[in-house]
Structure 1
Amino acid sequence: MPGEAGTWIFILGDMSIFSGFFVVYLVYRSGDAQLFDSSAAYLQPLFGVINTLLLLSSSLLVVVGIRAVRLGERTLAPGCFIGAILCGVGFSVMKILEYSDKVRHGITPTTNEFWMYFYVLTGLHFFHLLVGIGVLLYLTVKARKVILTAKELAFIEGGACFWHMVDLLWIVLFPLLYFVR
């Protein structure tokens, strides 16, 4: 198993908390499906599609980067991590544009229950994405080292697993918020 056991405990705990949020969202959604459906109609799926493509691309780059680290390719690995960072920055720009569009139209977390959940769930994910970008920056620096200790390699692998978790959470959030009717 890549990474350290502590990393996996953290990832499992984080995913468990998000799973709880998803269940709560679905319970409240079932209580007022009409409100949730009419509110979700104001979402622009193109934002979500672009963000999904950015995160899937970033995960592919991280996989290639990890493989390059394991093979000792010290120029390819940092480049892949930088590419993943750029995809994360692209996601951030798209999310800020989406939030700005909603706020400009008077749609805020206090508009109704759907929008409260939308902003909380996507905001928590966005926070994880920003932390993940920081982790990827650290991995970029570590990947340039000529010799890595077993602990450093485990940290790089664990950081990559965290990034994949951020991607996986979006893969659940996107259809849950934008398409479930």
Structure 2
Amino acid sequence: MLLTATHSEQDPIEGRIPGNKGIWAGILSEMTEFALLFVVYFIARAHFPQAFHEGPLQLSLFAGTFNTVLMISGSYFVANAVIAIRQNRPEVSLRWLVLVLFAACGYFVTKYFEFRWNVSQGITGRTGIFFTVYYYLTFTHMVHVGWGIMGLLWVMARTKAGAYIPTEHEGMEAFASYWHATDLVWLIIFPLLYLLR
């Protein structure tokens, strides 16, 4: 009998795009929206270089860094959730998704205290052009994280109900793709607003 290597049904098909067309249309819309906001950022920076030099010095680098750690951690957790479901370990997958939820909620809590600290320092959207751009970018990103949390809760419910199996977990992959895209946007926002002088 001739034995040949076959592709495991639990492994992702090579070259297949994860998720579905709908989520990628959403991700394209998200990326287009932020691309326009980044264009605004660079135009404003070109016209007001001093404001964009001084602005980051007035923000909480700790808050920005901590949120970066949370976003990266969330991406790591969701990747492990997908791996676990591919290995037919839904309970483990759900535990990873709970960690994603903690990271996402931690992001919101950190943003809340960061904004409170900003206001106590007299930093609002009307303080100057840098802070107008800062609030637009960070608030828009917060909205996308909020949508991600809603998607995450749905995926968690579906995982708990046993809806995902190694050969059919498109919904979880779609959420993971969205979360990674939102994380990628933050990894651009963080250096532009908190580090670049």
TM range (shorter): over 0.9
1:117 pairs with one of 123, 133, 149: 133
Q: Does 1:179 align with 2:188?
A: no
Give 1:138's aligned residue: 154
Give the C-alpha shift of residue 150 in structure 1. Answer: 9.4
Give 1:100's aligned residue: 116
Q: Which runs of 5+ in 1 are unaligned?
A: none
CA distance in 1, matches of 2:113, 2:45: 25
Give 1:32's aligned residue: 48
Q: Which runs of 5+ in 2 are unaligned?
A: 1-16
| 1:75 partner amino acid | E
CA distance in 2, matches of 1:19, 1:31: 19
Q: What count of residue pairs does the alignment treat as equivalent?
A: 181
Identity across matched positions, percent: 32
Q: Pairwise CA RMSD of aligned residues?
A: 1.7
- C-alpha contact 1:4 1:154 (8 A) present in aligned 2: yes
CA distance in 2, matches of 1:116, 1:125: 14
- Judged with a 3 Å threshold, the aligned counterparts in structure 2 of structure 1 residues 149 and 79 are, in CA distance, closer, same or farther, namely closer
Equivalences for residues 34-73 of structure 1 within 5 A: 34-73=50-89
| 1:139 partner amino acid | V
- C-alpha contact 2:86 2:166 (8 A) present in aligned 1: no
- Judged with a 3 Å threshold, the aligned counterparts in structure 2 of structure 1 residues 83 and 109 are, in CA distance, closer, same or farther, namely same
Residue-by-residue CA offset, 1:105-138 (whole Å, 9 max, x unaligned): 2211011111111111000001111111111111
CA distance in 2, matches of 1:19, 1:33: 20
Residue-by-residue CA offset, 1:43-98 (whole Å, 9 max, x unaligned): 12111111111111111010000111122211101110010110111111111111
CA distance in 1, matches of 2:186, 2:131: 17
| 2:172 partner amino acid | I
Structure 1's consecutive aligned runs of 4 or more residues displaced over 6 angstroms after TM superposition are: 149-152
Give the C-alpha shift of residue 27 in structure 1. Answer: 1.1
Give 1:74's aligned residue: 90
Query: The residue matched to 2:76 in structure 1 has which SS?
Result: helix
1:20 pairs with one of 14, 23, 36: 36
Report the structure number with the largest CA radius of gyration.
2
1:7 pairs with one of 23, 43, 53: 23
CA distance in 2, matches of 1:48, 1:127: 17
| 1:162 partner amino acid | Y
CA distance in 2, matches of 1:151, 1:31: 53
- C-alpha contact 2:88 2:166 (8 A) present in aligned 1: no
Worse-superposed segment, 4-13 or 166-175 = 4-13
Give 2:144's aligned residue: 128
Worse-superposed segment, 141-150 or 3-12 = 141-150
Equivalences for residues 150-169 of structure 1 within 5 A: 153-169=169-185
Residue-by-residue CA offset, 1:120-167 (whole Å, 9 max, x unaligned): 100000111111111111111111233537997212211111111111
